[in-house]
Chains A and B, each alone.
Chain A
């Protein structure tokens, strides 16, 4: 198992290198010159060239590529001209917020999805199954940015200004304006209140997908002979479901977990933009808009590392859940 893990980690190195190269080429091919956004129209060509030289853009692309790769290997991702800080600092400010948003969403989406899938599989073809299916398919089909806007409209704007409900949620940001002046208890409440709508958006969209997989995985497993055999031994319904069927149905869901990580991060980009969440997603969108190439590259690289690590975690989970993988 340790050997296997080490092998996987070593394999991640050329993978990330290839990815970095591809990203660099993509950014290089993108239209627009960063310098154009930093100077005003009235400035002379000389000033423009000076700005380009300062940004290191006067050198040919292959040279810049090698410089960037060499620096990135040592952990130096360059300077973000749009933020005025190093890329590392910019990422370090945003990454915790994104990890909080996606981590909470991932856990809740799987909990909700598996729960709904279990109910649907146990009550297959009943009205409960049909009603849940309607909801699942609806949320599965909705784009997360649209759902986010609707949630803001209803639970933030509508709840506060139109219907005047006792409860409403903030539409943007990770904390309120007066966060620094709050006590520790108030801070937690404020954080949670800000999390609810963006997390709700991601959980509804992703949970619907998980529910579809969970339902079909469980239905497949319920037909297996060991489930029938467990019933023939007189075990109760709950025991057969939770101790015999579910542990086997988890195996395909772990694969889904690995496949969903990129979906989660790209979904987070949209959701962070809609909810003005100060995370990686919004950082990236801003970076692209301002042609801040070092920041675009650094952010993409961080996303790539997250996906690779997430898949490694999925592999570990698989070994944990299936003794046939563990003992080969």
Chain B
């Protein structure tokens, strides 16, 4: 069975002082319908660039390596032999932007902004498009959808605007949902409701959802699987419960150790020494080795994927190979 989303060998580079530096390198991902995959990483890890390359919305200057492949629903949208997908952006793939980033046009009514996407991708017009707008606003749990449709963005609360942004991503009837930090600007209570909505929509609509976040709490609440990115590479992936309980990569372990825990309130928060190497200064070998407490001579070579047990988890680390024997 082919996955809803398949990303293979995705490499994206940006120009820098010395030529071109890869910001995303050899990323592989797969996602099934009805599944939420969390792409976790700190700022600069390449998670947003990975997501933007799915809809070919990379900023000018970015180049995608020729061997990179992206397939959505079995159709190749990026890479050798890719067909230009007419309804890729907003149609096949819906992008949920972050509330507070200004992704809603301040001078146009919510209904107009939704309507133009419905008309563009669904081929409906007139009163039917209007009904569809109201139906979408209902689907994302907004009360009084007609009133919301005739409102301007500044008349809604942050949580309502985030729901509108989700409705906008759904307006083209997508198969894949890419949510870029959808809850980072919201307070904790609203955050949980929005995440529950995304989970519900993924199940009921049979969407594949790629959730980009830096918040492991969000991951635990929402996702089925997790891919951990660091310095442009995926270092570990696996089922969310598995990965959060017994992380396989030293970086993932460090991330989890840095979370504040309810039990030891007074204890200082753990932190990882060092900084993520910037693009262009990520030499050969494991990208994490400068900060790894268990560095081996072998880490100068690029580690390959090592499977962890039966659950489909895998990790890019020589230590895991040692542990296996």
Q: Does B172 sit within 8 A of A, measured CB to CB? A: yes
The 4 A-B residue pairs whose C-beta atoms are closest, nearest first, are A234-B90, A233-B90, A234-B89, A229-B103
Q: Does A244 sit within 8 A of B, measured CB to CB? A: yes
Q: Does A324 sit within 8 A of B, measured CB to CB? A: yes
- 30 inter-chain pairs at a CB distance below 8 angstroms, sorted by A residue, are A225-B97, A225-B102, A226-B104, A226-B105, A229-B103, A231-B57, A231-B89, A232-B89, A232-B97, A233-B90, A233-B171, A233-B172, A234-B89, A234-B91, A234-B120, A234-B172, A235-B117, A235-B120, A236-B120, A239-B116, A247-B108, A248-B105, A248-B107, A321-B107, A322-B107, A323-B106, A323-B152, A323-B154, A324-B106, A327-B155
Closest to B59 in A: A228
Q: Does A243 sit within 8 A of B, measured CB to CB? A: yes
Which of B102, B103, B109, B155 gathers most chain A CB within 10 Å? B103
A254: min CB distance to chain B, Å: 12
* B70 CB contacts on chain A under 8 angstroms: none
Kindly state the separation between the CA atoms of A233 and B120 in the bound complex, as whole angstroms. 9
Query: Is there an interface contact between A248 and B106, defined as CB atoms closer than 8 Å?
Result: yes
Kindly state the separation between the CA atoms of A248 and B107 in the bound complex, as whole angstroms. 7
Q: Does A224 sit within 8 A of B, measured CB to CB? A: yes
* A225 CB contacts on chain B under 8 angstroms: 97, 101-103
* B55 CB contacts on chain A under 8 angstroms: 232
Among A270-328, those with CB < 8 Å from B are: 321-324, 327
* B154 CB contacts on chain A under 8 angstroms: 323-324, 327
* A229 CB contacts on chain B under 8 angstroms: 95, 97, 103-104, 168
Query: Is there an interface contact between A226 and B120, defined as CB atoms closer than 8 Å?
Result: no
Closest to A245 in B: B105
Q: Does B121 sit within 8 A of A, measured CB to CB? A: yes
Q: Please pick, from B90, B97, B108, the residue contacting A235 in the complex, using a CB distance under 8 A.
A: B90
Closest to A229 in B: B103
- Residues 216-246 of A, flagged 1 when their CB comes within 8 A of B and 0 if not, give 0000000011101111111110010001100
* A232 CB contacts on chain B under 8 angstroms: 55, 57, 89-90, 95, 97
B114: min CB distance to chain A, Å: 10
Kindly state the separation between the CA atoms of A230 and B171 in the bound complex, as whole angstroms. 12
Number of interface residues of A (CB under 8 A): 23
Interface residues of chain B, those whose CB is within 8 Å of chain A, are 55, 57, 87-91, 94-95, 97, 101-109, 116-117, 120-121, 152, 154-155, 168-169, 171-172
Query: Is there an interface contact between A226 and B106, defined as CB atoms closer than 8 Å?
Result: yes
Also in contact, A324 and B152, with CB within 8 A (given A231-B57, A233-B117, A234-B88): yes
* A248 CB contacts on chain B under 8 angstroms: 105-107
Kindly state the separation between the CA atoms of A140 and B91 in the bound complex, as whole angstroms. 45
Closest to A326 in B: B152
Closest to A233 in B: B90
Interface residues of chain A, those whose CB is within 8 Å of chain B, are 224-226, 228-236, 239, 243-244, 247-248, 251, 321-324, 327
Q: Please pick, from A224, A230, A234, A324, the residue contacting B87 in the complex, using a CB distance under 8 A.
A: A234
B18: min CB distance to chain A, Å: 24
Closest to A250 in B: B107
Which of B88, B90, B155 gathers most chain A CB within 10 Å? B90
* B95 CB contacts on chain A under 8 angstroms: 229, 232-233
Kindly state the separation between the CA atoms of A34 and B229 in the bound complex, as whole angstroms. 86
Kindly state the separation between the CA atoms of A248 and B106 in the bound complex, as whole angstroms. 8
Also in contact, A228 and B90, with CB within 8 A (given A233-B172, A323-B107): no
* A228 CB contacts on chain B under 8 angstroms: 57, 103
Which of A233, A324, A327 gathers most chain B CB within 10 Å? A233
A40: min CB distance to chain B, Å: 66
* A226 CB contacts on chain B under 8 angstroms: 102-106
* B94 CB contacts on chain A under 8 angstroms: 233
Query: Is there an interface contact between B108 and A243, defined as CB atoms closer than 8 Å?
Result: yes
Kindly list 5 other residue pairs between chains A and B, CB separation below 8 angstroms, not including A225-B97, A324-B152: A225-B102, A229-B104, A233-B95, A233-B168, A327-B154
Query: Is there an interface contact between A234 and B117, defined as CB atoms closer than 8 Å?
Result: yes
Query: Is there an interface contact between B116 and A247, defined as CB atoms closer than 8 Å?
Result: no
* B90 CB contacts on chain A under 8 angstroms: 232-235
Kindly state the separation between the CA atoms of A226 and B112 in the bound complex, as whole angstroms. 14
Kindly state the separation between the CA atoms of A232 and B172 in the bound complex, as whole angstroms. 11
Kindly state the separation between the CA atoms of A226 and B168 in the bound complex, as whole angstroms. 12
Closest to B109 in A: A323
Closest to B86 in A: A234
* B106 CB contacts on chain A under 8 angstroms: 226, 248, 322-324
* A224 CB contacts on chain B under 8 angstroms: 102
* A327 CB contacts on chain B under 8 angstroms: 152, 154-155
Kindly state the separation between the CA atoms of A243 and B152 in the bound complex, as whole angstroms. 15
Which of A235, A239, A243 gathers most chain B CB within 10 Å? A235
A308: min CB distance to chain B, Å: 27
* A322 CB contacts on chain B under 8 angstroms: 106-107
Kindly state the separation between the CA atoms of A300 and B102 in the bound complex, as whole angstroms. 46
* B101 CB contacts on chain A under 8 angstroms: 225
Closest to B178 in A: A232
Query: Is there an interface contact between B172 and A244, defined as CB atoms closer than 8 Å?
Result: no
A3: min CB distance to chain B, Å: 20
* B172 CB contacts on chain A under 8 angstroms: 233-234
Closest to A226 in B: B105
* A247 CB contacts on chain B under 8 angstroms: 105, 107-108
B104: min CB distance to chain A, Å: 6
* A251 CB contacts on chain B under 8 angstroms: 107
Which of A224, A231, A232, A243 gathers most chain B CB within 10 Å? A232
* B116 CB contacts on chain A under 8 angstroms: 235, 239, 243
Kindly state the separation between the CA atoms of A328 and B55 in the bound complex, as whole angstroms. 36
* A244 CB contacts on chain B under 8 angstroms: 105, 108
Closest to B85 in A: A234
